[in-house]
Amino acid sequence: MKRLSASNLARRLFKSNSLHTYSQSPKENIENTGSYDAINVILNHDFSEGLHLWRTNCCNAFVVPAGSGNYKGVAEDVGCSYAVVTNRNECWQGLEQDITSRISAGCVYTVSACVGASGTFHGSTDVQATLRLVFQNAETSYLFISKKSVTKEGWQMLEGSFSLSTMPNQVVFYLEGPSPGSDLLIKSVIITCPSLTDYESSRLTSSCTDDERIIINTNFDDRLNSWSGRGCKVVCHDCMTDGNINPASGKYFASATERTQSWNGIQQDITGRVKQKLAYEMTAIVRLHGHNANSADVRGTLWVQAADNREQYIGIAKVQATDKDWVQLQGKFLLNESPSKAVIFLEGPPPGTDILLNSLVVNYAAKPPPPLPPVVENAVFGVNIITNAHLKNGTNGWFPLGNCRMNVETGSPRIIPPMARDSLGSQEPLSGRYIAVTNRTETWMGPAQLITEKVKLYLTYQVSSWVKIGQASGPQNVSVALGVDDQWVNGGQVEVNDDQWHEIGGSFRIEKQAAKVMVYVQGPPAGVDLMVAGLHVFPVDRRARFNHLKRQTEKIRKRDVILKFSGSDSAFLLGTSVRVRQKQSSFPFGSCICRTNMDNEDFNDFFVKNFNWAVFGNELKWYSTEAQQGKFNYRDADELLDFCTRNDIQVRGHCIFWEVESTVQAWIRSLNNNDLMTALQNRLSGLLTRYKGKFKHYDVNNEMMHGSYYQERLGKEIWANMFKRAHQLDPSAILFVNDYHVEDGCDTRSSPEKYIEHILELQDQGATVGGIGIQGHIDYPVGPIVCSALDKLSILGLPIWFTEVDVSSSNEHVRADDLEVMLREAFAHPAVEGVILWGFWELFMSRENAHLVNAEGDINEAGRRYLALKQEWLSNAHGHIDEQGQFNFRGFHGSYEVDVATASKKITKTFVVDKGDDALVISIDT
């Protein structure tokens, strides 16, 4: 499966011709512009391969080969192939091509199409170029590119351009437009982006030639050749259910039928056709069939077996399919090592449901250019976008959501809520007026405003308000929510449990243009009155916050150092040159790693160079070490631990137990309570005895704020007993609680206040809680909200670690900003003693668009930002020894090397700057 260079591949695929010679067939996909070569996004752009890769849109088409003479109504024999789109009954019917994998957001593309028309129309008719954009929620929009008036007299050039601010799930280019009954003629289509020239090689080598094709018989033209059933039967069809199910494209489709397990499906052996450390993209067209098969997930999975017989299942993609229509299943994968065997297959729906497959293609994943940073014009940070927030004009600008009633009353707080004070600009005190909402018959009813025209894309907004509720039975949740078209966005939550005003704080960001954005306050049950005061929604100035955090970091992460020189040459040391270099920071920065990552040398190299702590993704969890009762597998964990030990990497143990029921193995759930208690004791003794002294931390029982499986089965004190027994077995390990949504204000179950109560209750029961784990899976981080949570938790006097940090945005510049927020807030807070990222390599993270390094090893903007911060937090100094025989500097905690060049020799010494309030004096004998 030879990969060709850009020039070789171009020569194999295309003949050379000038773009501007339209009387000849433009046989190339590389446009010669004189100064550079721009790559054509459209494949088979001149129909030299017939209609390959083109699709008709509810009409018919064929290709007139070169030299076949002129088609009816065409004034000239053009001497090259061209497409004829016929049997058109609507203006929008035409010819289309999916270009999703070959374009990127932020680039400007130019379109040139040589088009014509024939038929019974009089005078002229229009041909139009359009993009169909399909987003994740199946919303479809259309982007007009250009149109050209054509006649029967000859060919015309349709030219235009387009750019996408965000990348949809699917982008389809198509030509449409002649009046119904007329035929659309297309000689060639060229779409180029001059700025892509740096990426020519990656783009061209991402295309699969025939001899590099990974999937054989992709659309079943050769019936079931190369396909087989995975534990079930496969059948080839041209239609089903009396013609009600037909192929989406081509002549045939396959069904995986008589499925008795969810993993049964259709498969193809692709051994030898995929290589290690290359990113591939799978695209499949699927649907369901069978009784009770209305909707179910269909998954694309790759099974690989290594030379040592180690097996791995790689999830590629998942889509919710139905029995109503074909849907696209698309995803990427990468192999860290060359497998001895590889099989790709579809699975997922419940037994008895057939999986239908129309086509499946695997290609090298296109490597798009990095997106541009978003441009936000006229951003006014710290200014509230809510109309009449102080209610000076009654309820003007507000409306009730639902049939509730709103009135303005007085008696609410006049101070800005604490979490918003540092972010808001110059603000007058609140008015003391609030909206009282009564006659609520649904939980979602409350005060609302439309802010569609005020919200700017890619800006992070902070949400702040005071809220109170009327008489209710027990604590109730109140939230600020946003309706973004048909999606609900969480803007912050708080639990209200008394007749007091409570602060609510949160954040949001919109990365796709919305037709309607509404903010509203909701939450208490029907019949409970809701009161809202001082609602603020405003963009945050992250740069201003960063300047504040830099000053804080200077205070808590650095120490004054005095290098005191002495020795036989001390009389001659005045003015001697001194150079100090920090070799390593003592602050823990770590990452999640998995056993399969270790087969990728590039992954290992980046990890070892840029992290000093690790946590295992799944390898230490109970469902990995004992998937079946009594059958233990510590091999993966052992190998990871050996790797970390060899590279001087400290390791956190994650996790002994996991309290969320969905993560508990079936065999454990089937045990009676006595046997369950025995199994827990065996798990504790087996794990902690085996690894005694090797893991610095343990997350004892993961996510107790979001689950209660073991507690419900074995009683309230089981949580504390887990800690006590773990401490007995390995006294050297620091035992952590660990949970999510502690720091972002969007989950009342794990608010800082609830987390504190939880820890205190464990300690009251004798649990040896030694550390607080905040996972840090966060959306739209806002510094003051994160800092507020840290301030509250710090009263416990325990070390705080961010244990699973990841941030996500399709734009890597926005992702980098989010990551910088989290890292700076952590590093500037005295209670935080370590930060672990939940991975960094694309396709090996649990969250999409969260990676720092792209699949094939390219560091993106988020990765560059991380490395820049690591460099910023190292100290270097140079100067000369003073009259007291000293050299003074202030440096970050960590290990250092100092070079001293005296008149007779050069001396190099090492020393460590640890934490301390007093100046550290280091004596150096010269």
- The set of catalytic residues is 703, 804
Residue 516 CB neighbour total at 10 angstroms: 11
What is the rounded CA–CA span in Å between residue 670 and residue 288? 32
Query: If DSSP codes are grouped into helix, strand and coil, which group holds residue 511?
Result: coil
For tokens 């309290």, the residue is 659
Contact 867, 585 (CB under 8 A): no
Q: Calculate the alpha carbon distances from 185 to 79, 96, 156, 493 in Å.
A: 14, 13, 10, 58
Q: Which of 737, 734, 777 is nearest to 754 (CA)?
A: 737
Contact 424, 382 (CB under 8 A): yes
Contact 517, 491 (CB under 8 A): no
Query: If DSSP codes are grouped into helix, strand and coil, which group holds residue 131?
Result: strand
Distance separating the N- and C-terminal Cα atoms of the chain: 62
What is the rounded CA–CA span in Å between residue 450 and residue 469? 23
Structure-token pair, residue 644:
């970390």
What is the rounded CA–CA span in Å between residue 80 and residue 46? 8
Q: Which of 381, 299, 309 is nearest to 333 (CA)?
A: 299
Structure-token pair, residue 218:
């992709």
What is the rounded CA–CA span in Å between residue 817 and residue 362? 34
Q: Which of 725, 730, 795, 785 is nearest to 757 (CA)?
A: 795
CB-side neighbour CA atoms (13 Å) of 725: 21
Structure-token pair, residue 325:
């229509």
Instruction: State the alpha helices, DSSP H only, in 557-658.
Output: 601-610, 622-625, 635-646
Contact 577, 880 (CB under 8 A): yes
Beta strands (DSSP E) in 276-430 are: 279-289, 295-305, 311-322, 327-334, 341-347, 354-364, 399-401, 405-410
